[in-house]
Amino acid sequence: MKKIINDPNNVVHDALLGFADAHPHLITVDLDSKSVIRANPNPDKVAIISGGGSGHEPLHSGYVGKGMLDGACCGEVFTSPEPQQMIDTAHACKSTKGVLFIIKNYTGDVMNFEMAQEILETEADFPVRSMIVDDDVAVKDSLYTAGRRGVGGTIFVEKIAGAAAEKGMSLQEVSDIAVKVNKASRSYGIALTSCTVPAAGKPTFQLEENEIELGIGIHGEPGRERASLCDATYLAEKIVTPILEDMDFLGEPVIALLNGMGGTPLLEQYILWGEISNRLRIAGVDVQRVLVGNYITSLEMAGASLSLCKADDQMLSLWDEPVSTVAMKWGN
């Protein structure tokens, strides 16, 4: 195992130390609770909090800041945060208008966030709601979850709900928008290699040199099928087809995210996006906003995922609102 680390059991603590040192103008870090909080929390807006296992950076810590998240709870690598982390983060955000938990659909995350919500509902002086992201079309159940997994659509939910909160909308309104965005989003991912969890010291799964995994999860969960390595043109078809079969993306603008899983260079990501864009155009999908890059990774896994969001006028307008985080910035 070749990694730039110290103790494999302290990688999250050490990474948060460096993260805090690099971005003090945007975030603060509580090392005891392993939480990342927006610098200068705004008590007059709904606080949006997400989180999950580390190893998916920039998700979630990289999206804390104006126009997106107010707090992120960082679990150990590929392991859910504990309820107390979520409780501490909710209090640290200091919102009087309430807290919305955005939860990716993995069993540990759902259980711990829901437990934290139950405790906060009895002890906190602010309301708490939660919603679950389940945008993956590849498989219905996996090693980590019952039902569809929450993957790249999480970016759409956090950005659009974050903009709604920034504009002063109520907790009910922000929650409703988050749910609407999730229902309008679909994702599908592929892997060319496995990743290696530092504490394990060996790859999570094995792929032969000429094999790829189709429908992979962000923790290395099995996908729909294992196939032979193919060119970008054919791979684009294998990614786009199940998404369009699952949902009709015609009739409204679409936001697209072509996401690298951590080990695929941008050169290859843009080649793949070119092929995907062409297939979407042929299918009549009106893509009006595009992101290409590493937005929700799986350590050093080579691979990519495609996420599409069918955005109505409100969703597209909120997507375009300014955002200032470590990993996503535009507008004033």
| Residues noted as catalytic | 56, 219
Give the integer Cα–Cα distance in Å for 319 and 156.
8
Q: Which residues contact 230 (CB under 8 A, 6 or more apart)?
A: 212, 238
CB 235 within 8 A of CB 286: no
CB 197 within 8 A of CB 220: no
Q: Which residues contact 313 (CB under 8 A, 6 or more apart)?
A: none
Strand 65-66: give its sheet, edge to edge: 65-66, 323-325, 329-330
CB 90 within 8 A of CB 71: yes
Query: Nearest Cα to 241, choosing from 300, 190, 290?
Result: 190
